[in-house]
Amino acid sequence: MNKFFLFLSVSSLFLMSGCSTRSYSSYRHYKYSEPTYYSDDKSAYQSTYNRKKYSNATMRPYVVHGKRYYPTVVSVGDRFRGNASWYGPNFHGKFTSNGERYNMWDMTAAHKTLPMNTIVKVTNRRNGKSTVVRINDRGPFVSTRIIDLSKAAASKINMIGTGTAPVTLEVLGFAGKGKKKIPSARQLKKSPKSMALHGGFALQIASFSKIDGAIKTQEKYNNTDGYTTVIKDMQGENGRMFKVWLKGFKSEQEARDYKANGIFKGAFIVRED
């Protein structure tokens, strides 16, 4: 009996040792003797690593250092220019803004306003090298930078040593929700051509029984904070009404946040068909 228990004890130690060895083997290549950090602001990124708060953040506005950012709607073929940076060991394994674990060896990137799972081609304008990444995080929060690449993506366009590089971004398509792999060219052709909503959101800021009042209101508030006004001629229970809507919101949350500013008393959110 004692020999049996001795055999079990030795076997258990052997199994535990084996598990420890495999665990270390799986993660040892993530270790760096001298980690280098090229992103702009650690605290800004840490503020987005709240999985409970950001797990469904695709088009939700957010605030970093007192500035509010509104994720925007983009279409395939849209291009942007700016500077890229990269982030690596200091954030490896931590939560990204959409609730994933950041893996610096994946082909991913952080962008301030592109919808999550947007597939983007990044071209280094210094050397012409390109790579394709999937947006799964927010940042970088420096005005001169437009994208923060994973270490793997930065390596593809040869910008590890320089830390930053001037780049061109091109929207190639959109991966489905929950998809973590870069879609193939064939799959991208079948993906939506735009992240535009089926019917946007607007604020109804006024309603009149006569067209004159609606026209004056439209002209007065058109282009307020970059939004446009339109007049909706509608027939209701109380007869014909001319309603003034403020349009241009990229999401319901953006419309709610703008309504909360209190600029238009009594305004309410409406859905466009």
Q: What value, to the nearest 5°, has the Cα angle with vertex 107 and ends 106 and 108?
A: 95
For residue range 145-171, list pLDDT tens digits in order: 999 999 999 999 999 999 999 999 999
- Which distant-in-sequence residues (6+ apart) come within 8 Å of 70 by Cβ? 61, 113, 250, 251, 254
* β-bridge mates for residue 85, sequence order: 148, 164
For residue range 54-113, list pLDDT tens digits in order: 334 456 667 888 887 877 778 899 999 999 999 988 899 999 988 899 999 999 999 998
In this structure, what are the phi and psi dihedrals at residue 67, rounded to the nearest 5 degrees?
-105, 135
For residue range 82-93, list pLDDT tens digits in order: 999 999 888 999
**Residue 73, SS3 per DSSP:** coil
> The pTM is what?
0.60
- Which distant-in-sequence residues (6+ apart) come within 8 Å of 262 by Cβ? none
Domains of the chain and any CATH numbers: 42-190 (2.40.40.10), 201-271 (3.30.70.1070)
How does residue 16 score in pLDDT terms, banded at 50, 70 and 90? very low
